Structure 1
Amino acid sequence: MQPEFCTLPWQGGSVHIELAWVGVDDAAAPLMVFLHEGLGSLAAWRDTPEKLCAACGWRGLVYSRPGYGGSTPRPHAQAWPLDYLQRQAWELLPALLQALGVQGRYGLFGHSDGGTIALLHAARHPLTHSVIVLAPHIMVEEFGLASIREARRQYLEGDLRSRLARYHADVDSAFWGWNEAWLHPDFGSALSLGAISLELKHIRAPILAIQGQEDPYGTMAQIDGIAAILPATELLKLPRCGHAPHRDQPQRLTEACQAFSRRCLPPLPPQRDLP
């Protein structure tokens, strides 16, 4: 992906957002916005957006949130607010779409934190035509917090910092923003099932929710909880799959996205020869 940059007002200043357009070069094709995980970025997606867009006939918008990838880093003395997922969904993403001149309907493809952002955004933005979420979080589970604590240990003592550094201009900005927010004792009140339920019930777009059965960051309660609020949600539970279905089960994910798109999105109009 060849990145470009967009400047947005944000939190009393401005931020540069790293982004790329991928997929079908046709304005009539469905637009899908890709929202990365808590330690992800545009580069960390690797070729997943291009492959999915090619397989499903989508245009794709991929970007790094502030603090990640090549976007403006988080000031090291500044902690993410505990409602950072809500702010990304309700403030940053709408501002980015407006700045890029996106008009009409669009879909959301979110992984982990990005899945939560996708759900929260769709709840308040009826132009969302579809939502695909991989390993989303709608509540804090002790099961997942144990893995986040282990990630902290691996970052300080193992090779996690060096592995992440290839995807972020400021790797400490990316890691500590995410890790410290999630491990804050009050984070569970910001990401509680009760609070998220009040939002999710307003989603009108079709949802495909996918979870790996070996995900160390969340149990099936996450996507089962979405279906309990929105019974029309399509669930896909993948065996032999961890936290990243697009890496662990790429073929199965692609097939599920293709079928979901055929059911939920209008096909491209046929091309006509000019007279």
Structure 2
Amino acid sequence: MSTVRANGLSVHVEQLAPADADAGRHGAAPTAVLIHGLTTDTLASWYLTLAQPLAANRLRVIMYDLRGHGHTERPPAGYAFDDFVNDLAALLAALDVTGPIHLFGNSFGGTIAIGYAVRHPGRVAAIAAIESSPPTATWFARVAQQLEHAAAYLPLDHALAEIRAERGELASRRARTAREVLAATSLVRDLPASRLPAEESIAAIDCPVLWVYGGDSPVVGMVPEARRLLPRARFVTVPGQRHSLLVDRPGAVRDIVLSWLREECGLPVGLPNITGFSGHDGQDQPSAPATAH
């Protein structure tokens, strides 16, 4: 396990070198930074899904645990949106990443990616966001509601047992992690009170942007707002999938992302044959028909 000091925190970081060793010399390899979501998520969701396909396509891959999550330090306070964006900027500086970066965000990780691009437009080559939204008041109200519900429900004695019975052991373990994060930090208070970027600054983002949604996820309802702000972005929906799209259908996400990197970002990527590439259930995940809109 690797840790880096960034923005005053000890941050857990994992990196994958490009499959072609020569590609990483002299900073030639493009860099992919993978940002996970809040409370139940960690960098492991990327490590088990998209990280290896990106590295196999000659990208330098950087994954990290957000503040308060996984193996990164958990301060009791400091969970406003700016804190998460500042952490990303400080981490890239600590790792001496100076060239353009490709940002990948799952859920709130995509929101952080947009926030970083607003502040550092010249540093971002492209953004791929899965089950996410730009940092708008509508999205933050939705996130706040979910955090408040989780903070009230998860401490109940029967909560984890109910989640285990309905959604399985993995969901129960992730809910336990969320309960610990919410109990030990000011996330529920800090995030809804965040200062948000102006919509004009979001609309000014001019790099390629990809939005991927599960067709049965409530987050797909954010598409109209995201399209209003970033009308040139590509929007793809995977039918029958929920908010856990990334970990439930990594093969589908992989195919969508790699096609977009090739077609919209000009990277020479393909669909690699990766030994051991699997989803959380240990089974290879075939691609699912997806709808672009």
TM-score, length-scaled by structure 1: 0.77
For 1:176 and 1:209, locate their aligned partners in 2 and report how far apart those are by CA, in whole Å. Answer: 32
Shift of 1:261: 0.7
Name which of structure 1's ranges 41-50 and 111-120 shifts more when overlaid on structure 2. 41-50
Shift of 1:120: 1.1
For 2:9 and 2:187, locate their aligned partners in 1 and report how far apart those are by CA, in whole Å. Answer: 21
Number of corresponding residues: 247
1:132 aligns with 2:142: no
Question: Which of 180, 192, 200 is the aligned partner of 1:172?
Answer: 180
1:137-216 correspondence to structure 2 within 5 Å: 137=133, 138-139=135-136, 140=138, 147-157=146-156, 158-159=159-160, 163-164=173-174, 172-173=180-181, 177=185, 180-181=188-189, 187=192, 190=195, 195-216=197-218
8 Å Cα contact 1:122/1:203 also seen in 2: yes
1:24 aligns with 2:3: no
Q: Secondary structure at the match of 1:48?
A: coil
1:40-189 correspondence to structure 2 within 5 Å: 40-54=41-55, 56-75=57-76, 78=77, 80-81=78-79, 84-89=80-85, 91-125=86-120, 126-137=122-133, 138-139=135-136, 140=138, 147-157=146-156, 158-159=159-160, 163-164=173-174, 172-173=180-181, 177=185, 180-181=188-189, 187=192
For 1:248 and 1:129, locate their aligned partners in 2 and report how far apart those are by CA, in whole Å. Answer: 27
Shift of 1:34: 0.5
Q: Aligned in 2, Cα 1:267/1:110: closer, same or farther, shift over 3 Å? A: closer
Shift of 1:219: 3.9
Name which of structure 1's ranges 93-102 and 35-44 shifts more when overlaid on structure 2. 35-44
The amino acid of 1:121's aligned partner reads: Y
Shift of 1:198: 2.7
8 Å Cα contact 1:130/1:264 also seen in 2: no
8 Å Cα contact 1:110/1:117 also seen in 2: yes
Matched with 2:35 is: 35
Unmatched tracts of structure 2, length 5 or more: 164-170, 270-293
Q: Aligned in 2, Cα 1:107/1:178: closer, same or farther, shift over 3 Å? A: farther
Name which of structure 1's ranges 43-52 and 142-151 shifts more when overlaid on structure 2. 142-151
Identity of aligned residues (%): 22
The amino acid of 2:151's aligned partner reads: R
